[in-house]
Amino acid sequence: MKLTIGHLYPDLLNLYGDRGNLLCLVKRLQWRGIEAEVVPLPSDRPVDFSRLDLVLFGGGSDREQELACRRLPAIRAGFQAFVEDYGVTLAVCGGYQLMGLRLQTARQNLEGLGILDIVTAWEAQRLVHDIVVDSPLFLSPVTGFENHGGRTDIKNGTPLGRVGYGMGNTGRSGYEGLVYKNVIATYLHGPLLPKNPEVCDYLLAQALRRRYDSFRCLLPLPDQLEKQANTAAATRILKKRYIYQKSPNNIRKFIHDIPYKYYFYTI
Ligand code: GLN
């Protein structure tokens, strides 16, 4: 078996270790004896999505997003067809925003790919935090690091999960990220996948399922160390003083909204 992984715009979008996601996907395939081919997809070249199993779309500064935006019309149709056909995609922060209808930077209003029905507004106060997310897709907490000026309105979309600690999509909604078909879009850098091996294996399994009718499930790996690191990170972050919102009313509202296991926060 083999998976082909496309790294979209590596020349522009690659922040806070996002490339580690690529290494993690490749390693966890190879450790199971599954071949992995990595295809860099620079912003100045045409992209053939039909040969890809998995697309990585990383984060970027406002300036890099502005440059990337000029190139989007060339990939819009192919990328959309890939996503609608359950192509597996991990979009992080800047990449997440670019998959939406519109986004703002400090200087400009930009048109995104319009593949996801989301809109991102810009606010001067950046949301810079360690973050823990409780996602119904995963047993383990999803941990990472966020740093964004954008506030993403996912409308009626399905969030990746609830914010346990940190800010997430808007800093106000209590939700983080978006799941659409086989797309996971999230604000979590870190890089995300080495910190959350369960998320990595979920993406790999979805891609293998889509490619091979005969695929049943991934072999478990002896990755106790990675899982311990995930637990340690989540515990350390969740023990921090809770900083979700400055307004006490909002804090109270959010607290009623979050699962029981997070009730031990110190306010
Ligand atoms: N420039 C975008 C923002 O500030 C995305 C940042 C990122 O990818 N970390 O919202």
Q: How far is the CA of 93 from the centre of ligand 1 (A)?
A: 6
Establish whether residue 65 lines the binding site of ligand 1, counting it when its CB lies within 6 angstroms of any ligand atom.
yes
Provide the whole-model pTM.
0.90
Q: Has residue 258 got a pLDDT over 60?
A: no
- The secondary structure element, H or E, covering residue 232 is helix 224-238
Reported as a single tens digit per residue, the pLDDT across 170-200 is 999 999 999 999 999 999 998 999 999 999 9
Distances (CA, A) of 28 to 44, 205, 221, 222: 30, 11, 8, 11
- Closest Cα to residue 203, out of 185, 187, 225, 190? 185
Establish whether residue 93 lines the binding site of ligand 1, counting it when its CB lies within 6 angstroms of any ligand atom.
yes
Ligand 1 mutation target, pool 99, 147, 151, most atoms within 8 A of CB: 147
189 is catalytic: yes
Establish whether residue 164 lines the binding site of ligand 1, counting it when its CB lies within 6 angstroms of any ligand atom.
no
- Alpha helices, DSSP H, located in 56-148: 62-84, 94-98
% of the chain with per-residue pLDDT over 70: 90
Q: Has residue 40 got a pLDDT over 80?
A: yes
Q: Write down the catalytic residue from 7, 129, 189, 200.
A: 189
